[in-house]
Amino acid sequence: MTWTLQNDFVNNETVADNGNRFLIGNGYMGIRGTLEEHGKEQLAAVNLAGIFDKVGDGWREPLNAPNPLHTVLSVGGETLALPEKQPISHTQGLDYRHGIFFRKTTWAVGGGEVTVDSQRIAHMGRYHLILHRYRVTASAPMRLEITADIEDDIWELHGPHYSETAYEIQDNTILCSAKVQNGKDRVAVGRSCTLEGAEASYAERAKGLCFQVNLEAGKCVTLVSISAVCTTADSCSPEEKVVELLQEADYDTLFASHKDAWEKIWEAGEVELEGDDLARDTLNYSLYHLNSIAPRHADNLSIPARGLSGQTYKGAVFWDSEMFILDYFLFTQPEVARSMVRYRIDTLPGALEKAKQYGWQGAFYAWESQEGGFDGCSDYNVTDVFTGRPMRTFFKDKQVHISSAVARAIMQYVLVTGDKKLLAQGGARTVLECARFYYSLLVGYASSDRWEIHDVIGPDEYHERVNNNAYTNRMALATIRWALDGAKLLRESDPKAYKNFCAQTGAEELLPKLKKAAEKLYVPVPNEKGVIEQFDGYFSLEDADLAEVRGRLLDAKEYWGGAYGVASQTQVIKQADVVTMLEFFHNDYSVETLKANWDYYAPRTEHGSSLSACMYALLSCRCGDAKDAYPFFMKSAQADWLGGGKQWAGLVYIGGTHPAAAGGAWKVLAQGFGGLEVENGVPVVKPCLPEGWKKVTLKCCVHGKWYRLELTQEKGKIEEL
Amino acid sequence: MTWTLQNDFVNNETVADNGNRFLIGNGYMGIRGTLEEHGKEQLAAVNLAGIFDKVGDGWREPLNAPNPLHTVLSVGGETLALPEKQPISHTQGLDYRHGIFFRKTTWAVGGGEVTVDSQRIAHMGRYHLILHRYRVTASAPMRLEITADIEDDIWELHGPHYSETAYEIQDNTILCSAKVQNGKDRVAVGRSCTLEGAEASYAERAKGLCFQVNLEAGKCVTLVSISAVCTTADSCSPEEKVVELLQEADYDTLFASHKDAWEKIWEAGEVELEGDDLARDTLNYSLYHLNSIAPRHADNLSIPARGLSGQTYKGAVFWDSEMFILDYFLFTQPEVARSMVRYRIDTLPGALEKAKQYGWQGAFYAWESQEGGFDGCSDYNVTDVFTGRPMRTFFKDKQVHISSAVARAIMQYVLVTGDKKLLAQGGARTVLECARFYYSLLVGYASSDRWEIHDVIGPDEYHERVNNNAYTNRMALATIRWALDGAKLLRESDPKAYKNFCAQTGAEELLPKLKKAAEKLYVPVPNEKGVIEQFDGYFSLEDADLAEVRGRLLDAKEYWGGAYGVASQTQVIKQADVVTMLEFFHNDYSVETLKANWDYYAPRTEHGSSLSACMYALLSCRCGDAKDAYPFFMKSAQADWLGGGKQWAGLVYIGGTHPAAAGGAWKVLAQGFGGLEVENGVPVVKPCLPEGWKKVTLKCCVHGKWYRLELTQEKGKIEEL
């Protein structure tokens, strides 16, 4: 396989997509796959993880750093920039084996040809560093001017986040310190430039350096930049740290160690697949995206819904992380999974606080979790295209299933890694507080003996404020059971910690209540046709054809959901909902039931979310039907490979990469086609491969031991390494 | 007092208002105060009570009869019609003592002047009959043509309701039979015409007659019409009944008996008031409206929200009837009140059926009740002005307080009339079924011991799907207590009927549950400032200024409520809500609490409903503040007197008369300013009159005995008659 994705043209229509498709990153930062000459109009950005700012009434969102890749070439006063100056040839792309962005562009200019040939990496291991090599070759003698700076006029959705930027230039090093308008934070960026291969004079500019070079015919000149990014979230003196990092940096050594680091990642994380090159390539490309945003530099960070591809969705962590992304890391890089899970445990105080604000008990996790568990979600998350008014949405206050995702992540972590210590380290408490939250939501009619959950939004966000959403109720029930299990495991494995846990949580009073709740909590059951109603009254809604509903749109950007959206009063749903529930609890249902629900909901699902396809694929596999699963699997695996995708929710921009689809693609591969589960502390598989697939090989780590899984049409083979 | 309201000009802007202001009626029909020459463009209509039809997907609404008042005068080929042919002088008006519409118009034409001078009545007592006298005087010799017909091309909101009309002309009598498109109903109209005072020739036309008259200077000719309207709801052969009615009809005798009937109504129903002529006149004008639509012709009909002024609000009965209108009749014409209450008792099956449809128990009365208790309310009651799409509204399914209004009406009927027999005649059962309905709505959190009511709309319709609306919870509690009281009264007064009641309803099992519910049902209590929160979370909404909220409208016709209306996320409310609750239960609260809530809610109330003002007036009186009450009283009393008022909810036309405001005005007069209550079977008063009011005299009937109440600034005097 080539491990390369590339694109041979650039125009205003593709530039945003390319920014996502050719993204590089190392978990600390994500650098969009735009070109050196690009600025904010082309959505160029160095997105930072875990540091946020809020300007006025705008949304709270992560910071983009001033851009140290900004480099502009001009020849005889003419700027060579895409797409304005049309090239003779152009290619840009990504070596996704090693996280290397590259471009090569040739322009006709000054009576000859000039070629820019560049590459860059966000170093895997030295997370603050960016390496950038920019080589210019000329076919005729030419006078070049290369401007290398740190651009502070950057793309921001709800900025401006910087109130002031200060520049300092020392020899060939540009230093930029940007003050965040919150008065608390700073972002420091340094860029050390070396020009190789030709004599040059240089001049200082406001934001950087300008090199003047007289290049001979057939010769090249190379601008080598090593840049560093630090923030007050990393260091109390980020400017000094940047200088320090740049001093000891050596391009070639760093480049080699970067590639080694990626090779190590693939050693465990690659999926080999014989018989379907496109599936193999797109899947590994998806895994590249996951790896390039995995929070390896921290021990309690998670992955935002749009990765590090922009400020979209406020850089926040959604249920995507636990329900779609986590499993890949759990099985292949448990230390990353641990960081993701610890993020949730460590942000428990934010979840307790949120529950209290709404009058509930226990832990109500943020729908859009930022640092400290702060909920970045607004009460007005969609803009009405007809009136321009913000629409009251209920993602934040009613999408209560988020806490169950957290509980699942903790218990899944314990199940796969066997690491019960996490339970004593806050894990059991967190699960218990999630269960306490659901307990506080339970209502019962005076005239009935069962308990229900009312007024929620399920995964299908188009239907607001519904009662007894099957997914939510089932996950709440699971959470209550996990809390009971977690407490039991803790009591058995660490009696002393259990005592503390009880003292801290009042578990001894709560656990019997949870036992009762587990008996009384109503979960919708299949009807006579085997279909589970998504929520009370769903079957009474208009059973309109999806295409017809789409045809009712008056504006392509209008929101399908909310009170009056085209889908709201119909059975058309945004994404897998009952299907997601059945996938996670497939062992509780007959194959007939799984199939009946798949058949019912598939034609009614818009797949308006990239989370949807993988759940349909997984459930198909549970029904033994790899053929039905395959197109949904490919949709997930290609979510970023192909680009495109839904860019708007109302007037809100939601573009970027799709880590949940990537994680979902792996889940389909390993858990769907492979049937991977953990039983008694060891992996088991039960392959159900698509036609034409000869062999799938992947590795996984269960209870600290590594295994190689070989799956063929006939059987699955598990070898301990 | 003159008992006359009139208007001296007519144009396209006033024609709709005049139709309401000069309405005549007798409960069987309402005839809009338009002119003889007016047709559907001017909203001319003969609205019928209690007979409905639904065309296709349109709203189900009452029928308008073909119009037998339609009369057109032309002189020398020129049609004399307002407003097209401008008159020299014009007046039109209403003698509201006797329900006589009149008009007088003089035009310059044919070298002289022609005057039309007419009057009409809807006979009070002979409910099918309309009398119409149309006199033409000329100042110079003229050749007139008077066309008298039965116009079947009529104003309809959701028509056409007639699939076919057949005409028959026998001598001077025009007969029209209109087939309703439902294939089941027919409306027959007959018009018997006599021309007096001049020789005339006449010719038959398709829909009537055309009289040709050569009128001498200074002479007049009079067209006397007696018309009759019958439907298949009255008779299986309405055509024959019309002929029969016309045969025995004599204009002068009928006119005299009509006036006598009105005099009898006023004997009990008039309010005398010294010291404020405008208040006196507008109040009695309001009572005229109530009397002209009182269902005297039937023993189980009620009053629609827009009376008989049009098809607005589908001719349906709302909570207006029980909470705002009933009391006037209860105290002054108990037989009308009895018909209204019996309407609800007799439509219990519809309410039981509606509850079942929604999965509740007991009686869930129709929000917009048509015949048989059928709910005419749509799930889409408002049209979005921005998209033209119907908006999902929740009046029908969530405005559950309607059943409590029915329960109140029955118990109030028993309280005021002393007629306990009604309890055995379905009254106790109906109240119990209303209580059973609320019992089925009660929910409790697993973690709490109280019961609540969730997901409702209170009287303030701008805030949808709220929890623990104070009004709703308090009325539900009252209903539960009424059910207990009603059962007890029945047991004591009629043990045999009680036994049947128990057998029919299973009351013995239900009553202990209701007792428990009465203890556990949560009713919001005053906060530290004495203010009761309208519903859970209301105080957390934006506390925006009413004028500012109004200023946020992008379109004058847009709906303030719903999910995204300008009021929805603010504390601005449509109408009295907590204030209504406190008025009905004022004895349970201190004057300080009543006042604190009045002060809090008054500036936040849009009064977007004509039901609102009287509740503010009443509560002011409970606080001993007639001065604050007065403008709200006048607003209620003048609702139809002044005309105007809110004409649109979204794109839905809501114009017409306002019986609830009229009833509310009487409530303020008698119960607010007068302090009228029933204690131990006799009336008590406690006057609190506005400044300048010298004496108020009114009559009332309590427990079958008639009383004259005399109220002055100093005291109240009650004299049994």
The C-alpha atoms of residue B265 and residue B287 are separated, in whole angstroms, by 10
pLDDT in tens, A273-300: 999 999 999 999 999 999 999 999 999 9
Q: B242, B265, B288: which is the final residue of a domain?
A: B265
Most B-contacting residue of A519, A541, A559, A564 (CB-CB within 10 A), to test interface: A564
A677: in domain: yes
For A382, name the nearest residue in chain B, comparing CA atoms only. Answer: B564
The whole-angstrom distance between A606's CA and the closest CA on chain B is 21
Contact state of B392 with A564 under an 8 Å Cβ cutoff: yes
Interatomic CA distance for residues B558 and B646, integer angstroms? 12
CB contact under 8 A, A444 and B439: no
B299 and B248 in one domain? no
Mean pLDDT across chain B: 95
Residues A603 and A701 in one domain: yes
Length in residues, chain A: 721
Cα-based angle A668, A673, A675 (whole degrees, multiple of 5): 95
Q: Say whether both A195 and A293 belong to one domain.
A: no
Domain boundary among B265, B290, B312: B265
- Check pLDDT > 70 for residue A718: yes
- At A13 the pLDDT is 76
Residues of chain A contacting B392 with CB distance shorter than 8 Å = 563-564, 568-569
Q: Which two tokens stand for residue A717?
A: 């083979």
CA distance A697 to A268: 11
Q: Which of A443, A538, A542, A549 to mutate to test the interface with B (most CBs of B within 10 A)?
A: A443
How high is the pLDDT of residue B10? 67
Do B454 and A454 count as a contact with CB atoms less than 8 A apart?
yes
**Predicted confidence (pLDDT) at residue A644 exceeds the cutoff of 80:** no
Report how far residue B634's alpha carbon sits from residue B579's, in angstroms, rounded to the nearest whole number. 18
Cα A311 to its chain centre, rounded Å, is: 12
Q: Name the residue of chain A whose CA is nearest to B566's CA.
A: A389
B352 plus B301 within the same structural domain: yes
Same domain, B241 and B283: no
Model pLDDT for residues B523-551, shown as the tens digit of each residue: 999 999 999 999 999 999 999 999 999 99
Integer Cα distance of B721 and B718 in angstroms: 9
Q: Which residue of A has its CA nearest to B358?
A: A537
Q: Count of CB atoms within 10 A of residue A183's CB?
A: 7
B316 and B252 inside one domain: no
Residue of A439, A443, A562 with shortest CB distance to B444? A443
Decide if A563 and B517 are in contact by the 8 Å CB cutoff. Answer: no
- B198, pLDDT greater than 90: no
Q: Which residues of A touch B440 (CB under 8 A)?
A: 445-447
Q: Which residue of A has its CA nearest to B390?
A: A564
Other beta carbons within 10 angstroms of residue A301's beta carbon come to: 22
Q: For the domain that residue B483 is a member of, what is the CATH number?
A: 1.50.10.10
pLDDT at A484: 98
pLDDT digits (tens, 9 = 90+) for B151-180: 999 999 999 999 999 999 998 999 999 999
B564 with A387: Cβ contact below 8 A: yes
Which of A244, A262, A280 represents a domain boundary (last residue)? A244
CATH of the domain at B241: 2.70.98.40
Residue whose tokens read 């406020």: A314
Mutate to test the interface with A, among B437, B564, B566, B651 (most CBs of A within 10 A): B564
The answer to which of A61-65, B8-12, B662-666 has the lowest mean pLDDT is B8-12
Listed in sequence order, the residues at least 6 apart from B274 whose beta carbon sits closer than 8 Å to its beta carbon are: B693, B694, B695, B696
pLDDT digits (tens, 9 = 90+) for B397-445: 999 999 999 999 999 999 999 999 999 999 999 999 999 999 999 999 9
DSSP-assigned beta bridge partners for residue B709: B698, B718
The answer to whether residues A85 and A178 belong to one domain is yes
Chain A residue numbers with beta carbons less than 8 Å from the beta carbon of B454 are: 443, 454-455
3-class SS of residue A84: coil
Cβ atoms of A87 and A105 closer than 8 Å: yes
Residues B163 and B290 placed together within one structural domain of the fold: no
Q: Please say if the pLDDT value at position B648 is more than 80.
A: no
Nearest to B446 among A451, A465, A562 (CB): A451
Closest to B59 in 3D by CA, of B421, B283, B395? B395
Ramachandran angles phi, psi of B632, nearest 5°: -70, -35
Q: Which residue has the tokens 């832990």?
A: A363
Measuring CA to CA, which residue among A85, A142, A144 is closest to residue A112?
Answer: A142
The token duo for A224 is: 């080598």
Q: Tell me if A223 sits within 8 A of A134, measured CB to CB.
A: yes
CB contact under 8 A, B439 and A446: yes
Q: What is the pLDDT of residue B608?
A: 85
Nearest CB among B443, B513, B554 relative to A443 is that of B443
Q: Is residue A253 part of a domain?
A: no
Task: State yes or no: is A461 an active-site residue.
Answer: yes
Chain A: nearest CA to B441, how far in angstroms? Answer: 7
Task: Inspect the interface and report whether the beta carbons of A387 and B386 lie closer than 8 Å.
Answer: yes
User: For B564, which of A389, A444, A446 is closest by C-beta distance?
Assistant: A389
CB contact under 8 A, B442 and A447: yes
Q: Does the distance separating the beta carbons of A447 and B446 come in below 8 Å?
A: no
Q: Which two tokens stand for residue B89?
A: 């002088």
CA separation for the pair A208, A210 (Å, rounded)? 7
What percent of chain B clears pLDDT 90, i.e. is strictly above it?
92
**Which member of B445, B455, B465 has the closest CB to residue A442?**
B445
Q: To the nearest whole angstrom, how far is the Cα of A461 from the nearest Cα of chain B?
A: 16
Q: Could you tell me which residue, B12 or B18, shows the higher pLDDT?
A: B18
Residues of chain B with Cβ-Cβ distance to A454 below 8 Å are 443, 454-455
Q: Are A7 and A272 in contact (CB under 8 A)?
A: no
Which residues of B are less than 8 Å from A387 in CB distance? 386, 554, 564
Select from B442, B447, B564 the Cβ nearest to the Cβ of A440. Answer: B447
Residue A252 lies in a domain: no
Q: B316's torsion region: left (phi>0), alpha (psi -120 to 50) or beta?
A: beta
Evaluated on CA atoms B661, B663, B664, B669, the torsion sign reads: positive
Distance between CA atoms of residues A135 and A195, nearest Å: 9
For A369-394, what is the mean pLDDT? 93
CA dist., res. A20 & res. A28, Å (int): 16
Among A461, A533, A558, A606, the active-site one is A461
Which residue, B394, B379, B585, B411, is CA-closest to B490? Answer: B411
Q: What are the pLDDT digits (tens) for A586-604? A: 999 999 999 999 999 999 9
Chain segment A413-429, per-residue pLDDT in tens: 999 999 999 999 999 99
Whether residue A651 is predicted with pLDDT greater than 80 in this model: the reply is no
* Total domain count, chain A: 2
Residues from chain B that touch A559, judged by Cβ atoms under 8 A, are none
From the list B443, B446, B563, the residue facing A392 with the nearest CB is: B563
Q: How confident is the model over B596-625, as a mean pLDDT?
A: 96
The size of the A-B interface in CB pairs under 8 A is 78
What is the pLDDT at residue A688? 96
- Examine the pLDDT at B652 and tell me if it is beyond 80: no
Which tens digit of pLDDT belongs to each residue from A451-482?
999 999 999 999 999 999 999 999 999 999 99
Per-residue pLDDT, A493: 95
Q: Do B462 and B595 reside in the same domain of the chain?
A: yes
Mean pLDDT of chain A: 95
**Cα nearest neighbour of B518 on chain A:** A446
When pLDDT is cut at 50, 70 and 90, the band that residue A106 belongs to is very high
Sign, CA dihedral B307-B313-B314-B319, equals: negative
Residue of B436, B445, B514, B521 best to disrupt the A interface, most CBs of A under 10 A: B445
> Cβ A447–B517 below 8 Å, yes or no?
no
Helices (H) and strands (E) in chain B, counts: 21, 29
Any residues with CB less than 8 A from the CB of A586 and at least 6 apart, and which? A594, A619, A622
Same domain, residue pair B223 and B353 = no
Q: With bands split at pLDDT 50, 70 and 90, how would you rate the model's confidence at A483?
A: very high
Assess if residue A341 is contained within a domain. Answer: yes
Of A384, A649, A381, the residue nearest B554 (C-alpha): A384
Contact flag A446-B445 (C-beta cutoff 8 Å): no
Hunting for tokens 């009325």 — which residue is that? B475
| Interfacial residues of A (vs B; Cβ cutoff 8 Å) | 361, 384, 386-387, 389, 391-392, 439-447, 451, 454-455, 465, 513, 517, 520, 554, 562-564, 568-569
Note whether B230 and B275 are same-domain residues.
no
Whether residue A1 has pLDDT greater than 80: no
Residue in A with minimal Cα distance to B520 = A446
- Does a structural domain hold residue A254? no
* Cβ pair B517:A392 closer than 8 A: no
- In this complex, the residue of B361, B451, B465 whose CB is nearest that of residue A465 is B465
From chain B, the residues in CB contact with A551 under 8 A are: none
Q: Can you tell me the ipTM of this complex?
A: 0.90
Q: Which residues of B are catalytic?
A: 461
Q: What angle do CA B110, B112, B115 make, to 5 degrees?
A: 100
Q: How far is B526 from chain A (nearest CA, A)?
A: 19
State the alpha helices, DSSP H only, in A569-652. Answer: 578-584, 591-601, 612-622, 626-637
Residue A463, pLDDT score: 97
CB B348 within 8 A of CB B373: yes
Contact across the interface for A563 and B562, Cβ inside 8 Å: yes
Residues B279, B256 share a domain: no
pLDDT band at B349 (very low <50, low <70, confident <90, very high): very high
* CA terminus-to-terminus distance, chain B: 25
Whether this model's pTM surpasses 0.95: no
Distances (CA, A) of B607 to A168, A325, A528, B456: 64, 53, 50, 20
* Residue B595 distance to chain A (closest CA, Å): 29
Q: How far is B349 from chain A (nearest CA, A)?
A: 22
Nearest chain A residue (CA) to B453:
A445
Domain that holds residue A32: 4-244
Is B200's pLDDT higher than 90?
no
Find all residues with CB under 8 Å of B511, minimum gap 6, and list them: B483, B484, B487
Distance of CA B124 to the CA centre of its chain: 18
> Contact, B195 vs B223, CB < 8 A?
yes
